[in-house]
Structure formats: structure tokens, C-alpha cells
Structure 1
Amino acid sequence: MKEGEETQWEYALTKDNWPFAPYKVHKHFTVSLSKDDSGEYQCLLRHKLSYDVKTSNIFSLTVSGEAPKATLLSGSTNIPVGGRVTLTCSVAGSAGWTYHWSRRTPGSDETLPVRDGDENGVMSISQGGTYWCRGGRGNPVFYTHASDEVTIQITFSNKVSVTLQTSWPHIFSGETITVRCEIQGGRDAEWEYEWRTSWSTTHRTNDDYWSTRASESHGEGYMCRGRHRRDPYSSTEWSKGLKVTVSREAPKATLLSGSTNIPVGGRVTLTCSVAGSAGWTYHWSRRTPGSDETLPVRDGDENGVMSISQGGTYWCRGGRGNPVFYTHASDGVTIQITFSNKVSVTLQTSWPHIFSGETITVRCEIQGGGDAEWEYEWRTSWSTTHQTNDDYWSTRASESHSEGYMCRGRHRRDPYSSTEWSKGLKVTVSPQPKAQLSADKRTIPAGGRVTLTCSVDPSSGWKYDWAVVTLQPDWTEIYRGERISVSCEIQGGDTEWTYEWRTPSSHTPPSYSEYRISSVTLSHSGSYRCRGRSDYSFTEWSDEIRLTVSSDKPRASLTADTTVIPAGGRVTLTCSVDPSSGWKYDWYRDNKLSEPLNTRDADFHTTGQISVSQGGVYSCRGGRGDPVYYTEKSQEVTVSGPESSSFPVLLIVGLVCGIVLIIVLLLCGFRKSTGESLIIKNL
């Protein structure tokens, strides 16, 4: 505003029609603005003398909350030696900026200004480095945020290639490989090297090689470039990628032997190889006799061939590279030193005929081997090798085991030294025979005996064992809830037996001689058989014994020879339980079930009979076993006392009347002497 001389006016600012800056004599206002200061501003002029006020036009001002960020663009980030590139700096959405340029010095974090106050924001450079810029305006200068960095590389024209530093093209996962970066024409420069792969970040080395562990996923390519050691922004182009074939699994070595059996003093050649790859050296190992300890025999053998004269289990593996990468170990090859002693197998029984299930013993005889300490190996067509410390072997015969038994001796101090296998001993094995039992009589005479004869034809050498089943107690009929025992007795031998049972019940029977049933049920009815087993031999099954279990509790039966007790006599009572045995009886009178009769109450005769001389209502019941199993109480029997007689009664009445008459006569005589009258009333 121009209104006369400036000295006659005062100036103030309003914001949104509200005072913002008070009146002062200067027309310039310097304020620090924030985002809240956005709005419409107006200048007020007030005359110092007249106090006339004039207003300016309205000025809209927008204040951003955050300082802007400069943007730096580059035509290219790689320029050849002697070339140039143009950098452009700008601040979007605002004006009035000048530009300030900076560059990081090589090998440090120090930043140097390149140019300040550049108004057009464009700079042409020929020097490599990391550049950035920022805008500034006003007084004091207000700066934008610095731009993102742009790294300019100076690229040498030297051709670069990667080579694999191994003599074998096939690489295995886990193997350490070395690649080399070759820069043509770059020998006079001092380089450091950068390596790049498709699976990892950039890796740097001071030397022109890089050793890394190969993986199946690492076959896509290895690339490298050289960077000038004095100027890290000067480098070569990246090489082309070197592809490497990497197999997933380490290979397995193969060990071959010309023979696995050599005579004493002989030699055998072992050959180790790794198929499909090269560059291997071979490492040999041998297991020491009598332990699992492994000792190295030879390391770093290049031809993979070794001649040996010592028995043992050998294996090998290949190794190559630094550090050494090993293959999987080969399968073991066992080399046996063979003695020339003749070996034979003999059967150690006195009978030529063998039956299935029978235990036989074979013996290994080594001619001329008496001074050696042997252990013995046995081989058959139906089983794996069996070893014994003694020269005999006991085994169970089977019909399929007739083909042959072979043996050989192995030196106890050197398990890799042995004789040849003997010829096979053939043994005839027949199905298990059945014993024949006969008796000279079928019925045992009173006080006599029956002779039983057991035989096995047509063979010899037998001892006979008899299996017999007995019932304890030996009652023919059992009632539900009673306790019994079924016993198996092996007669004719002193062998320690285990026992097998055949029973009608689903309950699992024991493996010992007594089968106890604490409370029988209907399911226990049926036949019982047993047999004895010892190692691989059995007795025949015993004859069966049948057990009958009744479901209803039995009732005792009570009878009397008469129901009236004769004068001076007794009545005989008989209690019974049919059709079974083993009962003892309890007797009761007048329903006193808690007080059974004893010898003071009755005469006890044979089991089930008593004699009584006292009338009453009698009953009985049977009991047997331990704990006692009781029957139901019998029916009641009433016994009357002795019969009546008139003679004793009349005698007693006559005596009483005679005595009364005598007393009356005496009284009459007494009354007459005293003069008193006597009145006799009817008695």
C-alpha cells in the first residue's frame, strides 16, 4: 500500500478478520508459521495523527504441516570412464527454491557439498559417488528434506568371467566349491570383488576367488565384478552367470572284492569307486575283531585299489575338496581267513528215527583242531546262522528241517578266521507219533489191580509219562456256587512240567497242575482234559473227566422208622441228599435252626442217622466242602411221646383215696372225745 510518507503510518496484520500482528512503524513482518496458521491475511494502515485506517487486499496463505522432500533423478547410474551423467533435483508442488548438492567421499561416511544455490536444479557430473540434494528458500533459509541417494558408478570396460576351480564337473549338495573371478586386462589395478547369486545377497572378497557350500538350489549361476579398491564407485560390469550342476544326495562308494574267503597266507584285492564322478581320493577302514571299533587302514589313496592278507570287515568312502567332502561309506565287505581243517556234523542220539517236535543235538567235529579255541556257527536251509560256544547245538526238529545241518569253526581270538562249512547232515523227521495204551483188564477186581502198557512203534528210546485228571472232591454231581479243584497229575517222570487244559468254560485255565474254581456255574459243566509240556515235548492228552453242575440247590430228605416213640424206646431218623455224596448233616428240633442237636439230645449213628427219645418236630439239612455249602432244609417230621396205660393211674388213685380215708377216721375219733360234731362234705 502506498499512502503518502511512510513515517505517518503504522502497520498491523489480521488473520481471518482477527488481529494477528500488532501495529508497528515497519511494514515488514517476520513470523514463524505452523500448520494452524493457514488462513486469509490482510494488512491494516493506521494514520498516526488522524487514526484513519485503510485495508489491503486479502491474501490466502496455506501452511503445510511437514517440510517437503526433494526428488533426485539420474539419466543413468552407470557411466563409462570419461563419460558424464545429468542429475536433476526438484521440489514438487511449490516454487522459489534454490538447490544444494552433496556427495559422499569414497571409503567413509563424510559428506562434502558440491554446489549451493543452484536455481535450475540441474547438474552434470563425471565422477562416481553417492549424491543427494535438497531445496532451500527464504531468509533465514528453510530447507526441504534431503532427497533419496543416487549412486553413480564408473564402469570399466574390462571383460569379466567366472570359472569353477575344480577338475570335476559334477557337484554334490553340501560339497564346498571354489569359483574364481577373472578380469581381462585388469592385473595392474587393485581390485576387490563382489559376488552375486540368485539365492543370496551380494558377497564381497578381497581375493579373486570365493569358496561356498553347494546346494541343489544353487545351480542357477554365479556372477562377479571387480571394484577399484581406491574408488569404490568404480567397477567393472557384472560377469555372465556360471551354471553349476548340483545333485541332491551325496554319492555312495562301492567296494568290490575279488573273493571274500582266502586261505591262510593268501591275499585278496579290494577296489573302491564312486560312479558318475571324478576327483576322489579313497579312505579305507577296518573293524577290529571282537568289537565295534573302527580303525583307518589307509587315507588319500588315489587309485582306489588295496591288496590285503588280513581278515576283517572292510569298507571305504571317497573324499575330495578342501575341506574334504566325503561320500557315504560303502557297504561292508567281510574277508574271512579259511583254515584247511576238515569239518563234519554228527547226530548225538542213539535212535535213528526223529519225530517232529523232538529236541535233537548235533555235534561239530573239527579234525586236527584240538589246540585251537573255537566258537561254532550252524547253518540250515530254514533258519539264519546260529552261534554256540560249545561244539554241540540242541534244537527242535520239524518235518521241514530234514535237508541238512552244517557247521564251521571260528577262531575265538579272531572272528574273521574260520574253517570251511561242513557238508550237510540230513536227518529224517517224521510226524509226531501217538502213544498206544492198553490194559490187561477193563475192570479192577476187589483188592486187585489192572496193568496198563504204553508203547510207541516203530521206534525206541522212549520214556513214558501219564497225564491223569482228578476231581477234588470227587463228587459226581456239583451244585452251582460250590468250590471244587480239578488236578492234573503226570505219572511216570520227574520232569518239571507246565500244564495245558481243555475245559468247557470260556475262563482262561492256569498253566499249573491245579485248576481251582471258587464258585462253579452252569458254564463249568462238561469234560476236562490236561497234558504236560516241558520245553518242546508233550504228554498225550489225559482221558476226560466230566463235571455236571446243577442249577437248583438240593433239598435234604428226612424219614423216620416210626413217628411214635414206644415206651422206653427210641425213633430212628434218616437224612439224605440224592443223587450225590460227601454230605454231613445238621439236625434241628422244633424249628430251632440256630441250635442244632448234639450228643445230649440224640444218639448219632452213621452219617445221616440219629436216634431220639424225645417227641418234637424234627428237620435236617446237608453240608459239604470248605467253605461249607448247605442244602435246603428238609421237610419236617413230627415225633410223638410214649403211649398211655390205665394200671399205673388206678394204682395212684387208690393210694390217694386210702390215705384220705385214714385221715377221716382219725378226725372222727378226735371229735367224739371232745363232744364236737363233724360235718363231712362231698369231696
Structure 2
Amino acid sequence: ETPKPVLSKDPPGAEIYTEENFTLSCGFGGDPAGWEYLWYKDTQGAALPNTDSSRTDGSSYTISSAALSHSGEYWCRAARGRGPFYSEYSNSVTLDISIYRAVENLVRIFVGVAVLIFLSVILSDAFWRRLRRIRMYCTVTGEASVLVFFGTLRAAQSSSGVLLTADPPWSDMFAGDTVTLTCQVTESEGWTFIWTRYTQGRVTQLHGSSGEGGSVYVLRSVTEKNSGMYQCEAVRGNNREFSNFHNITVWASPPQAVVVTDPPGSVMFTGETVTLSCDIKGSGWRYSWARNTQGRLESLSASSTETQQKHTLHSVTESDSGEYMCQGERGQNPKIQSLPEVLKLNVSDDKPKPVITHDPPGAEMYTGERVTLSCVVGGDPAGWEYLWYKDTQGTALPNTDSSRTDGSSYTISSAALSHSGEYWCRAARGRRSFYSEYSGSVTLDISVPPQAELTVQSGWTEVFPTERVTLRCEIQGSSTEWMYRWYRDGQELPVGKADSSSGNGDTYTILSADQSHTGLYTCRGQHKKRGFQSTICSAVKLHVLRKIPKPVITQNPPGAEVYTGERVTLSSPPQAELTVQSGWTEVFPTERVTLRCEIQGSSTEWMYRWYRDGQELPVDKADSSSGNGDTYTILSADQ
């Protein structure tokens, strides 16, 4: 079993801060000798190299001064030998490096008051591990005295009292916009402020104006160069506090308004309710709507929403046709305007009538076939839902196990006789469901597939060894539309070197018969284009005899010596012919079956013997032979 190392970290806690040291250790149970260790971060592909701040040393990986970039998921793996042989990857350890935060609580005292000066710095466990002893400085009002204190501090969760806000508060800005960033400290005064912008790996120091308890940084007429993450740092003595981040993305040009309609499409119909919606990238936009009426812009009222983002037309008529424009603006000084969007709306008084078709397109459809009805609305098909009806236009068809609505199509996965009938479709769209006209009707007439018919071209089903036998399978109608499959005793027959099928498979030829070809033969057709199968044919039993018969020749007069002038007759006994009076060889239990044996010429001169599977049949109570024995009757057939 391939060994799997165990990965651990030191310090073991969840919190690790920038500039801390920490070590990852990789270990085995059992014998650790001879192993070298590989380290991986965020992916198990390429091992980590040694760098200035992180180094591999035996079974440990040490980061001497943690940075935010060291955050991630780590694994280790061991290798030894020349191969080398690798262990499995260890469990993963996730490092989350964060920036240290401290909170100071300052209490003022005055001269002449005998009180203990108390100053507490709330630190995290991780920071306290680094600073075991902390020196604290306090100033007493009125006298410049300094108190030095050494001691142990209680660890608690860090917090920040510096808040960065933006006016306007949007993240997406456009060239020419003005934004004011404000940094405020909620506790006391005496702070100085540093502004920083982080962008694509670069750090830029900025200079804002400071006032009582805060600082302001103003970006006037912004450009793309002003994009980035902004942060404020408050500094007082040895204490440094960091604000939250504010992201600003500056776009070079005003955004384009985008107008869409509900229901979708550029053609509407009389009576529909149409809602125009306008969307502009970013926040804080004030929307306005106008309509172009014969070259004159007419302002439109919008919905009651504060942003006026939508304009609704109730029960439209042809007079509502025209060009509609949306534009947005935001800010005051300067005021930024979006690029307008113009939508051309056409209202038609003609209610649409969909067209229904079916596939396969022919008039004949059979059980088991897949049938698809399609419904199409002319013009703009967007936004329509389709309803389907059978035999009546009252209630729409539901989805079932065998038939399902999918967009503009209705599919019957396996047609049955019950699917026969008259079908319509119609379309609906909009929240209040505007309906189209009903389509024309399509009639489906589902019937049972035609039955194949099997014949033996020679006419007889008993054949001799080495004989050539050809079977033919036919389906009434166009035989070129079908492919055929052949079966013997229920098993499909392959086309091989010994047995061959020719043309489109409607004939199956046994080149040289033998005992293995004895059996019940059936066939069925499969439609070339539509894939459905015909009904299987009635079986034909082919029996290959054990050997080829040898004729017997007799001579009259008998004897080996014949003299010149004598009359000699050579004859061969006639062959008996067996027929089934009913004409079919497949019978059902209890049926009466009569077999007839005939010899050409005078049948009264012959007596007959009957055999089954080579054994002579006696005459008993169940089976009887009548008259002179030329017929054999099975009174009640069984297995």
C-alpha cells in the first residue's frame, strides 16, 4: 500500500498574520529514512521552489515572513530511490494570511488626580506569540511625563475604527465623473492619514486633505488611470489602523442604454400589453423615455418606480407603432449621460395564425413510430409559448409519458392507435397571455405496420444436403423502402460466407444446405427512412434431410442375360408425395390435421406406411389411418 504522509502547521491556530513565521511539517508513521519531500500550493502539479521568504528543509517548509500571497491550500509528497518512487499526496492544509489589526483604548487623566493610568491594547493570539512583552507609552495632560509598563495582555478579537466612504457610492465610474473619498476615525483625535491605491500589482501613495477626526481625497474628472482599490490608513504614534477597501472602475466612455421588450420581439399585436425595459451599466442612473412622432421627440411618462426604468403600453393599437428612446443621466456637476438606445416598435392589427406540420410528412403512420408536430408563428417567433389540442379546441394537451411539449414542437415518442385524431396548435405570450389564432388542423391516422410474407422460391420446405435454397421476404407496397432482417428459431441471422443475402435483403440464400439449416425461419422489414419495423411474418419450417436418396432401378424380364431382339424394360419405383390438406404446417393444440400420401398413377394399387422422425407409426386410438391408408389423421394435435 502506497504510504500517505501527514501534513501539519506551526503555529497550529487558524489565525496567521503578515510578517509572522510559520512552518509546515510533513511526516510518516514508521521508518522515515531516505525520503525527500516535495511541496505544492493551490495545485498538485508543480512543486514549490526555494525563495527568499520560503525554504524547504528536509521534512519542513518554512515561510520566514508571511505575506498575503502565501494564502492558499498546501500539500506535501515524499519520494525516494532513483526511480523515484512517490508516496501519495498528503492531506491539505489551508493558510489564510491576514493583516494585523490593533485597537487602542485611551483614558485621559489630569494633574492632581491620583488614579492609575490604564491603557489596554487588544491583540490576537497570533500577534501575542510574536510580541511577548509590549512597551506602552502614555502622556499625562499638563506634564510631559512618560510611564513605561511591561506586562501580559489579554488576547481578544481585533477590530478597526477607521471607516472609508465614497460620495457618490458607486463602483462603476465614467470619464469625467467626480468622486469624494472620506476617511473617518471614530475614536479620539491626533491621527494622520495615508491614502493608498492598489491596481494590477502596483501600490500608489496618495495625498488627501486632513481635518478633525478624518481625511478627504477627491478624484475630479476621473479617467481610466484612476481605477483601482482605495484604502485609508490612520497613524498615531506606533498605532496604525486600516480602513475598508473601496473599488473604483473607470470606463472611458458613457455606457450604452439597452432596451428590451416584454414580450420580446419587434412586432406586437393589437390588445397586447407591452413593457419596455431600459438597462444601463452601473448604478445611480435616472431614466427618461421619449417617442419619435413624425420627427418630433415626445417625452413619455414611465412606471411608478423611482428609477423610471420601465415604460408600459397597455392594450396597444396600431397608433402605438413608432420609435421609442431611453436615456440615462446621473450626477449633478458634472452630469453624465448614457448613450441613447432607439427601439422601433411595430403594432399589427392582424392576429397571427401559426402553421402546423408533422414529421414524418407522409399520410401513413404506424404504431411504434416517433411523430413530431411543429408549430410556427410567422414573422418574429420570439417569446411565444405553444399549446396543443386534439379532437377539440377546448382543453390543451398535457405532457404524458409518451407525448411531450417542447417549445414549438409536440412529440409522440412511440405512436399508438389512440394517438389517431385531429390536432391543432396556437401560441400565447406575455404575462396576461395574448393568444394567437388556432392553426389549421392536421390529421394523424395511426395503423398497425404491414406484415411481412415469407416464401420459399423452390416451393418445397424439405430439402436435401448441398441443395441451394432461396427464401424471399415481401411487404405489400413499395419494397424498395424496406430493409429486411432474417431469423432462424428466433435468432437473427448474420450475413456470412456460407449464407448470403442479396440486394436490399429481401432474399436470403443458403448456398449449400446441411443439418444446421433446419429450423423455423421468419423475417421482418425495417423502413429505411423512418426506422419503424413491420409485423414479423408467419414462420416457415425448413427441414434438411439426412442424406440424398438413391433411386432403385428394376429390369423386366429379370436376369443378367438378355438376348438380341428381346424387349427389356427398366423402371424406377415412383416417389410418394406428401401434402397437408389444410395447407399450413403450423397448427394449434386440439386441431384436427390430415396428411395425404399420393403416388402418380393408380392409387388403388398401393398400400401406405407412415413415419415420424424415421419411426413407423402404428394405428392407435389417438391417431388413425383410414381407407386404404393414403391419409393419416391426427384427431387432436398436441406437442
**TM-score, normalized by length of structure 1?**
0.31
**TM-score, normalized by length of structure 2?**
0.32
